């Protein structure tokens, strides 16, 4: 099943082999090595996949919440011994054909991963990454830029107010605006009273300014040493080749480090602990039913594979779906609105954490919730759970193990991150990938009716290391936090002498000079347009007839899974139906079917399918932004052996769905509202861009209405009517009306699986085949363009800014230059002004051909007016400054790299099918890609002058109460959620 040669003797002399294992279920061989001199670990996942992945991880164990590991992650990427330029990481992003490039700070490790399909590019990035990690310069000015610094509000006026600045400082202000992040951090604070997880590894905004530059350097010297490093690789490059580079570029310069960095096991409580904390919520939001109540347990060492999988199985039995006993309680209890977003098992740290709870509650309901949760657990421990439910949960574990991912980020990186937890804690990293034997053992163990019952009793009921956290809203907390920061800055300023004030001014000036400095980029390696493959990767399928319907079949290496979709043309809907269409899709696979209620259906799904869900897709025509077509998709996946059962389930979903379970519909809508409200501060830039674009055409307006802030506002209004039976009955009736129209629509099918199984897969789909009555396809309703100048106020400590300009569809000659222009402006101007100088976590520009909009954005941004000015200034820079052809080439590489980025085998087939569905055939995409490679500087300046005109700009900002006055001063209209 493998296609490479491997000999244990084929190892670099500087390394010694430790162990290896063939993992047939993943189609890989995992090899572990140790560096003789330093003890550095190398884990190589050998595969015939040409997308090679590299990651180097360091065990980082902070003992406070100053964010030292996080700030070091940023600062290490700001220049190294071999590459003493100011910003090699971001420079390499644009000099590369990488398919992934980033850096992560977790709670106990920091990792630097990248992936590329181009060998030259891979070698370039490896050289830069090794030097950045092990030979970082750590310039104090980079620490000031990326971490924190003091500046005067009027930079050269010591009489003006002092302010804190810094990229990580603002990033964490944004990150900790998320209630979910606060909930997890507060829970960890008490679950881990003595270990590193007690602290916020990303940094608490109030604590970040306590970190000194010397503390950063000291942390680097011990934690960023090869003795504390884990090298991980994936792909078709031999391990020995990687090791030769590791040794030559870095490792030969180091000896063994005496200090051993590790996370100690937590000291366990002798009795459960109950705590209360608060989170900031604006007064206008109200505090009724805004409390979170969660219970958390520590379940043991994550490196114990058998214990870990037993815990996963128990969590699945209790929480996997609405029929699971604990999830059923959390969804149906009248103590809260929906289950907590933290529900589940976390295995990313040294100790396994199990969490359950609710949101949308009140603090006085905590005792009753705890009582009800323990009652469910007691029932499971006493009476067990039906074998069918346990088997279904184990089935889901097997599916997760077998599925080849890669649609979110590279498949090889997914495998690497799975193994990293074990490697971090010096456990069996290979075992975390090679779980087949343990799964087989679990299959035998669950035949004992007491197995899950005993696990529930041992791991949960008799486990005294339990926390009950009540997190309640506080309408004055944000104001107190702002005041505390202001007072702190005033006290610092009062204690400054004239020399110290002058030093702050000089540091700000030195940093500004450094940010404006033009580095010699030629010292960095690069790929060029000549390295771009001539052809866009092609995925072809076969089209056949299935009882009068079209079926598209794609052979792909799916590792024993099958993916299938029913695709129907979107019919004409009334305004009310159109408003409820997204929620119809969310409810379709979550309610009862025929004589089965939704609980029975949930169990049915868990037993036969990996997933079953429906959604809609809509795209504009290639040559007309005012012409839009759409489809309804019912999508499922399963083990190949269960394909007939999956088809039966899909058929029942389409033909027997019942929308008469009104309490269930209410639960689902409340859960959807909770999730969308929580996602605002994490997705603020995308929401701002959608709002800014919404005035251009129907397609852009739909994005704002269905998935954007307008949709959230409409959902809030919809939920207010749920307390009346008539409101729920009207929704159910509308769902039925939508369903009947979709049933009558023209349909076709998509099936993806192993090539030798496609014929039998096609035959099994016959029951779903139906010609329909051919309901009329949706027409494009009248749309009146409008000017957008909006400010949306959310619960956020930072801003998300966007400007949008109307442009052209994909077939227009200017579409390719506009695509390249986004990267050109980001690389050459926006990154420096918005991130480095402005302190935002990110900023840039892009062109969306599906709605014909060129959009600027900033992410977790402390500024508003100045950022919007920077968007305009970037256009002036484009038109009036001199530029180099190299800058254009770098922007072209970014666009082509994005187009060529591979997904999973099934994901690539889905993308090819759905692109073709809307006229984006391989030939069309290939032609567009070729046009991208031919873009010139003249093209960029021409389209910039043509489309990015000030009077055509629409503006939208997502902010918090702190930004309301600034938004009003910009004449932005305040929009209420």
Per-residue pLDDT, 6: 44
User: Tell me, what's the pLDDT at 921?
Assistant: 95
Going by the DSSP 8-state scheme, the letter that residue 750 receives in this structure is E
The yes-or-no verdict on residue 715 having pLDDT over 90 is yes
Predicted confidence (pLDDT) at residue 960 exceeds the cutoff of 50: yes
Which pLDDT tens digit goes with each residue over 39-82? 999 999 999 999 999 999 999 999 999 999 999 999 999 999 99
What percent of the chain has pLDDT above 70? Answer: 98
Q: Write the pLDDT tens digit of every residue in 610-632.
A: 999 999 999 999 999 999 999 99
Does CATH number 3.30.930.10 belong to domain 35-260+517-523?
no
Q: What are the CA-CA distances from residue 895 to residues 38, 695, 922 (Å)?
A: 40, 26, 17
CA-nearest of 371, 276, 338, 353 to 308 is: 353
Average pLDDT, stretch 937-965?
Answer: 96
Q: Indicate the class that CATH gives domain 273-474.
A: alpha beta
Instruction: Return d(Cα 478, Cα 161) in angstroms, integer.
Output: 20
Q: Which residues, listed in sequence order, are joined to residue 854 by a DSSP beta bridge?
A: 805, 847
> What are the structure tokens assigned to 931, written together?
């046009």
Are 887 and 94 in contact by the 8 Å Cβ rule? The answer is: no
Question: 631-667: b or e for each residue (b if 16 or more CB lie within 10 Å)?
Answer: bbbbbbbbbbebbbbbbbbbbbbbeebbbebeebbbb
**Location of structure tokens 């932004």:** 625
pLDDT tens across 318-362, in order? 999 999 999 999 999 999 999 999 999 999 999 999 999 999 999
CA distance 766 to 797: 54
Half-sphere exposure of 439 (CA within 13 A, CB side): 19
Q: Which H helix or E strand runs over 710?
A: helix 709-720
Mean pLDDT on 816-837: 96
Task: Measure the CA–CA gap between 769 and 749, rounded to whole angstroms.
Answer: 8
Q: Which of 176, 215, 179, 192 is nearest to 71 (CA)?
A: 215
Question: For 663-697, how does the pLDDT look when each residue is reduced to its tens digit (9 = 90+)?
Answer: 999 999 999 999 999 899 889 999 999 999 999 99
How are the residues of the chain apportioned to helix, strand and coil, as percentages rounded to the nearest 5? Answer: 50, 20, 30
Q: What global pTM score does this model have? A: 0.92
Q: What is the pLDDT of residue 453?
A: 96
Measured in whole angstroms, the distance separating CA 143 from the mean position of its chain's CA atoms is: 27
For residue range 241-260, what is the model confidence (pLDDT) as tens digits? 999 999 999 999 999 998 99
Tokens of 901: 């980025």
Separation CA 586–CA 614 (nearest Å): 7
Q: Characterize 741-763 residue by residue with b for buried, 16 or more Cβ atoms within 10 angstroms of its Cβ, and e for exposed.
A: bbbbbbbbbbbbbbeebbeebbe
| CATH architecture type of domain 789-975 | 2-Layer Sandwich (3.30)
Q: How far apart are CA 822 and CA 817, in angstroms?
A: 9
Tokens describing residue 608: 């036969």
Please choose, from the candidates 310, 337, 570, the residue with its C-alpha nearest in 3D space to the C-alpha of residue 460. Answer: 310
- Kindly report, residue by residue over 479-536, the tens digit of the pLDDT: 999 999 999 999 999 999 999 999 999 999 999 998 888 888 899 999 998 999 988 8
The strand pair at 747-753 and 549-555 is best described as: parallel
pLDDT at 902: 87
Q: Tell how strand 561-569 and strand 351-361 pair up.
A: unpaired
Q: Evaluate whether 366 touches 372 at the Cβ level (below 8 Å).
A: no
8 A C-beta contact, residue 823 and residue 891: yes
pLDDT on residue 161: 94
Residue 712's pLDDT is what?
95
Question: Quick one: how far is CA 858 from the chain centroid?
Answer: 17
Query: 52 and 229 in contact (C-beta within 8 Å)?
Result: no
**Quick one: which of 864, 667, 647, 865 has its CA closest to 761?**
647
Q: In this model, does residue 5 exceed pLDDT 70?
A: no
DSSP string, 387-407: HHHHHHHHHHHHHHHH----S
Whether 555 contacts 750, CB under 8 Å: no
DSSP state for residue 252 in the 8-state scheme: G
**Arithmetic mean of pLDDT, 146-171:** 93
d(CA 107, CA 59): 9
Given this model, what pLDDT does residue 4 score? 38
Q: Does position 200 have pLDDT exceeding 60, yes or no?
A: yes
> pLDDT of 884-911, one tens digit each?
999 999 999 999 999 998 888 899 999 9
pLDDT (tens digit per residue) in 792-803: 999 899 999 999
- Helical segments of 883-936, H only: 885-900, 905-917, 922-933
Q: What does the pLDDT average to over 924-937?
A: 96
Q: Which residue has 């702002």 as its token pair? A: 482
d(CA 26, CA 622): 39
Q: Pick left, alpha or beta for residue 479 (phi over 0 → left; psi -120 to 50 → alpha; otherwise beta).
A: alpha
d(CA 532, CA 933): 9
Closest residue by Cα to residue 57 from 233, 253, 260: 233
Report which of residues 469 and 772 the model is more confident about.
469
Give me the helix-helix angle, 387-402 and 305-319, nearest 10°.
120
Residue 1 has pLDDT above 50, yes or no: no
Going from the C-alpha of 493 to that of each of 483, 487, 490, 498, 501, the distances in angstroms are 15, 10, 5, 10, 8
The pLDDT of residue 311: 96
Q: Which two tokens stand for residue 626?
A: 């005012």
CA distance 221 to 619: 52
Q: Reply yes or no on whether the pLDDT at 648 is more than 60.
A: yes
* pLDDT exceeds cutoff 50 at 7: no
Sequential DSSP letters for 415-472? HHHHHHHHHHTTS-HHHHH--HHHHHHHHHHTTSTTHHHHHHIIIIIT---EEEEEEE
The pLDDT assigned to 920 comes to 95
Whole-angstrom Cα Rg for the chain: 28
Give the per-residue pLDDT at 771. 53
Rounded Cα distance between 201 and 363, Å, is 28
Residue 2 above 70 pLDDT? no
In DSSP terms, 113 is beta-bridged to 55
User: According to DSSP H, which parts of 268-363 are helical?
Assistant: 305-319, 325-332
Contact call for residues 439 and 433 (beta carbons, < 8 A): no
Cα(592)–Cα(598) distance, rounded to whole angstroms?
A: 4
Instruction: Compute φ and ψ for 752, nearest 5 degrees.
Output: -130, 130
3-class secondary-structure state, position 712: helix
Owner of token pair 């799975």:
418
Predicted local distance difference test score (pLDDT) of residue 650: 96
Rounded mean pLDDT, 136-145? 96
529 or 635: which carries more pLDDT confidence?
635
pLDDT over 70 at 162, yes or no: yes
C-alpha torsion sign, points 161, 162, 168, 173:
negative
Q: Which of 294, 276, 67 is nearest to 176 (CA)?
A: 67
Phi, then psi, of 7 in degrees rounded to 5: -130, 135
> Whole-number mean pLDDT of the chain?
93
- Exposed, middle or buried, 278 (CB in 10 Å: 0-12/13-18/19+)? middle
| pLDDT reported for residue 808 | 97
* Per-residue model confidence as pLDDT tens digits over 765-804: 888 887 555 666 666 778 999 999 999 999 899 999 999 9
Most confident of 8-22, 329-343, 533-547: 329-343
Q: Is residue 9 predicted with pLDDT exceeding 80? A: no
Residues linked to residue 620 through DSSP beta bridges, in sequence order: 628
Tell me whether domains 35-260+517-523 and 273-474 share a fold: yes
pLDDT band, very low/low/confident/very high, at 25 (cuts 50, 70, 90): confident
Domain boundaries, the chain: 35-260+517-523, 273-474, 789-975
């Amino acid at each position: 099943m493998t296609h490479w040669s491997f000999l244990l003797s084929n190892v670099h002399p500087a390394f010694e082999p430790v162990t290896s294992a063939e993992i047939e279920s993943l189609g890989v061989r995992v090899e572990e090595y140790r560096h003789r001199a330093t003890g550095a670990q190398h884990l190589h996942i050998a595969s015939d996949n040409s997308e090679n992945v590299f990651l180097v991880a360091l065990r980082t164990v902070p003992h406070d919440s100053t964010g030292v590991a996080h700030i070091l992650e940023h600062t290490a990427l700001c220049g190294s011994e071999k590459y003493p330029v100011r910003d090699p990481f971001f420079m390499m992003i644009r000099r590369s054909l990488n398919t992934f490039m980033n850096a992560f700070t977790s709670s106990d490790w920091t990792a630097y991963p990248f992936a590329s399909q181009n060998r030259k590019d891979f070698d370039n990035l490896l050289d830069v990454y090794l030097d950045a990690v092990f030979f970082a310069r750590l310039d104090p000015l980079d620490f000031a830029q990326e971490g924190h610094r003091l500046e005067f509000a009027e930079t050269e006026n010591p009489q003006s107010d002092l302010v804190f600045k810094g990229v990580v400082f603002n990033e964490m202000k944004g990150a900790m605006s998320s209630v979910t992040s606060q909930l997890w951090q507060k829970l960890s604070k008490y679950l881990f009273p003595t270990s590193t997880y007690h602290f916020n590894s990303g940094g608490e905004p109030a604590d970040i300014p306590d970190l000194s530059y010397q503390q950063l350097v000291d942390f680097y010297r011990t934690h960023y040493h090869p003795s504390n490093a884990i090298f991980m690789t994936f792909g078709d490059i031999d391990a020995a080749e990687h090791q030769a580079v590791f040794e030559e570029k870095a490792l030969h310069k180091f000896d063994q480090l005496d200090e051993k960095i590790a996370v100690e096991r937590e000291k366990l409580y002798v009795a459960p602990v109950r705590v209360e904390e608060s989170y900031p919520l604006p007064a206008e939001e109200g505090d009724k039913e805004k409390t979170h109540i969660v219970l958390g347990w520590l379940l043991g060492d994550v490196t114990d594979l058998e214990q870990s999988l037993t815990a996963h199985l128990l969590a699945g039995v209790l929480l996997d779906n609405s029929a699971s006993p604990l999830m059923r309680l959390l969804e149906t209890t009248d103590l809260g609105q929906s289950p907590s977003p933290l529900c589940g098992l976390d295995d990313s740290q040294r100790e396994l954490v199990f969490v359950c709870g609710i949101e949308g509650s009140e603090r006085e309901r905590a005792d009753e919730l705890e009582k009800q949760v323990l009652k469910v657990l007691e029932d499971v421990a006493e009476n067990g759970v039906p074998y069918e439910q346990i088997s279904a949960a184990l089935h889901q574990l097997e599916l997760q193990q077998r599925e080849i991912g890669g649609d979110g980020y590279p498949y090889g990186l997914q495998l690497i991150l799975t193994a990293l937890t074990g490697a971090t804690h010096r456990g069996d990293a290979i075992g975390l990938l090679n779980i087949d034997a343990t799964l087989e053992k679990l299959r035998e163990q669950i035949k004992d009716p007491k197995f899950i019952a005993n696990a529930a009793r041992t791991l949960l009921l008799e486990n005294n290391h339990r926390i009950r956290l009540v997190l309640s809203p506080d309408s004055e907390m944000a104001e107190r936090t702002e005041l505390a920061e202001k007072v702190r800055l005033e006290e610092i300023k009062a204690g400054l002498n004239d020399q110290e004030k002058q030093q702050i001014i000089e540091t700000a000036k030195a940093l500004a000079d450094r940010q404006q400095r033009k580095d010699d980029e030629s010292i960095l390696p690069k790929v060029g347009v000549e390295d771009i493959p001539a052809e866009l990767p092609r995925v072809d399928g076969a089209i056949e007839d299935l009882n009068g319907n079209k079926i598209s079949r794609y052979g792909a290496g799916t590792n024993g899974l099958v993916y299938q979709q029913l695709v129907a043309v979107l019919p004409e809907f009334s305004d009310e139906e159109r408003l409820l269409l997204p929620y119809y899709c969310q409810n379709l696979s979550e309610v009862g079917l025929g004589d089965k209620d939704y609980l029975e259906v949930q169990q049915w799904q868990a037993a036969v399918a990996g997933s079953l869900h429906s959604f809609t897709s809509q795209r504009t025509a290639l040559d007309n932004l005012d012409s839009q077509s759409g489809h309804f998709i019912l999508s499922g996946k399963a083990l190949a052996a269960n394909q007939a059962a999956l088809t039966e389930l899909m058929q029942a979903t389409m033909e027997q769905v019942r929308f008469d379970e009104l309490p269930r519909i209410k639960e689902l809508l409340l859960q959807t509202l909770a999730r969308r409200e929580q996602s605002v501060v994490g997705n603020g830039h995308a929401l701002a861009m959608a709002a800014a674009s919404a005035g251009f055409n129907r397609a852009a307006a739909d994005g704002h209405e269905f998935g954007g802030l307008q949709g959230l506002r409409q959902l809030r209004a919809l939920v207010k009517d749920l307390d009346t039976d008539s409101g729920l009955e009207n929704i159910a009736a509308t769902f039925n009306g939508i369903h009947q129209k979709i049933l009558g629509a023209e349909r076709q099918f998509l099936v993806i699986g192993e090539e030798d199984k496609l014929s039998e897969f096609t035959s099994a789909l016959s029951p779903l085949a139906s010609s329909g009555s051919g309901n009329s396809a949706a027409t494009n309703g009248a749309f009146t363009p409008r000017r957008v100048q909006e400010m949306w106020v959310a619960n956020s400590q930072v801003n998300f800014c966007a400007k949008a300009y109307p442009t052209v569809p994909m077939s227009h000659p200017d579409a390719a230059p506009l695509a390249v222009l986004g990267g050109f402006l980001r690389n050459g101007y926006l990154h420096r002004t918005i991130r480095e100088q402005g302190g935002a976590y990110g900023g840039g520009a892009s062109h969306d051909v599906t709605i014909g909009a060129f959009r600027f954005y900033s992410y977790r941004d402390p500024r508003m007016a100045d950022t919007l000015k920077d968007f305009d200034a970037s256009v002036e820079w484009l038109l009036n400054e001199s530029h180099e052809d190299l800058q254009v080439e770098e922007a072209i590489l970014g666009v082509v790299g994005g187009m060529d980025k591979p997904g999973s085998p099934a994901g690539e087939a889905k993308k090819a099918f759905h692109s073709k569905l809307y006229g984006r055939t391989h030939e069309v995409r290939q032609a567009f890609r070729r046009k991208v490679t031919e873009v010139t500087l003249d093209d960029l300046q021409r389209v910039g002058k043509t489309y990015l005109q000030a009077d055509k700009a629409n503006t939208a900002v997502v902010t918090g109460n702190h930004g309301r006055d600034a938004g009003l001063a910009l004449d932005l209209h305040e929009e209420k959620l």
